[in-house]
Structure 1
Amino acid sequence: MKNLTKYIFAIFAILLFTAIKPAMAQNSQEFQPAKSKNKQYYALYALNSGDEQKIAGTLRNIKNALEDPRLKGKLHIELIAFSGGVAVFDKKGPFKETLLDLKSRGVDLVQCENTIRERKIEKSSLYDFINYAPSGNGEIILRHYEGWAIVHP
């Protein structure tokens, strides 16, 4: 019985060692960030929150993506706002300058028409430099099937 216990322990130790060694080897490799291999990249940022911190964070994420050296000159971005996200385009809000900067850098700023219809929002209360899509969810679905990365910070 003692020999059987030693034998089982030895097999367990060998199995454990063979499992740990490859895992340790993986951790010893240095991290390499993703490399840009395509000529163009497409990202749709979906914003459905009216929280000013969430909006500001989303706009900052877009700016950061535009400034990533791997993506410079290769990235096309669309911001789709729906539901509470309509606040980003409200003329009374604090985001006009940031939005104009993003627009000047080629970002498409798009508002869901379902949201403004359902919430009875007048287009005149939103910035005149934005575009419209019939539905935010439809835009997400269609862009996804066009191969766009969908980002929902």
Structure 2
Amino acid sequence: MKKIIYLMMLTTLATLTKVKAQQPAEFTGAKATLKHYNALYIVNTADEKRISGTLRNIKNALEDPRLKGKLTVEIIAFGDGVKLFDKTAAFQDRLQSLKDAGVILAQCENTIKERNINKDQLLPIISYVPSGNGEIIIRQYQGWATVHP
């Protein structure tokens, strides 16, 4: 009887050890092994909730300890996304903070031409590119991550 109990205990211990050994190591996310990263955030919606979410995502990326000091971010706005840079919109303070953190704020000139928007209606802290789609294509081929929340 002692042998049977001993064998049962040994089998149980061997099973527990095997189960423990098969458990994966704790996942802590991807390692930022490159010296630098680039991300292009695409805004082509006037939906304030989505725009706010995009601005929050950018702030979170800039504060990610793995990317701190290694990340260049650009926001490209086109189409309905022109609302992001409108002086009357509620995003001016958040955009200024992002600009101060080095984020590039770019607006598609095609959009403002097509919609007859005067640049005076938009925030003075932004830059302009000929086309939003052209910016996306060029950045993609330059190796930038494109994010379209």
Instruction: Flag structure 1 segments of 5+ consecutive residues without an equivalent.
Output: 1-23
Tell me what 1:143 maps to.
139
SS in 2 for 1:72: coil
SS in 2 for 1:94: coil
Tell me what 1:33 maps to.
29
SS in 1 for 2:93: helix
Q: Is the aligned partner of 1:92 residue 2:66?
A: no
Q: For the aligned residues, what is the CA RMSD?
A: 1.5
Tell me what 2:68 maps to.
72
Q: Is the aligned partner of 1:132 residue 2:128?
A: yes
Instruction: Flag structure 2 segments of 5+ consecutive residues without an equivalent.
Output: 1-18
Report 1:35-74 matches (<5 A): 35-74=31-70
Deviations 1:84-134 (A, max 9, x none): 100010000000000000000000000000100111111000001100000
Shift of 1:28: 3.4
TM-score w.r.t. structure 1 length?
0.81
Deviations 1:27-83 (A, max 9, x none): 832324100101110000000000100110000000000000000000000000000
TM-score w.r.t. structure 2 length?
0.83
SS in 1 for 2:94: helix
SS in 1 for 2:90: coil
Give the Cα separation in 1 of the matches to 2:28 and 2:91. Answer: 35
What is the total number of aligned residue pairs between the two structures? 129
Q: Is the aligned partner of 1:109 residue 2:105?
A: yes
Task: Provide the identity percentage.
Answer: 60
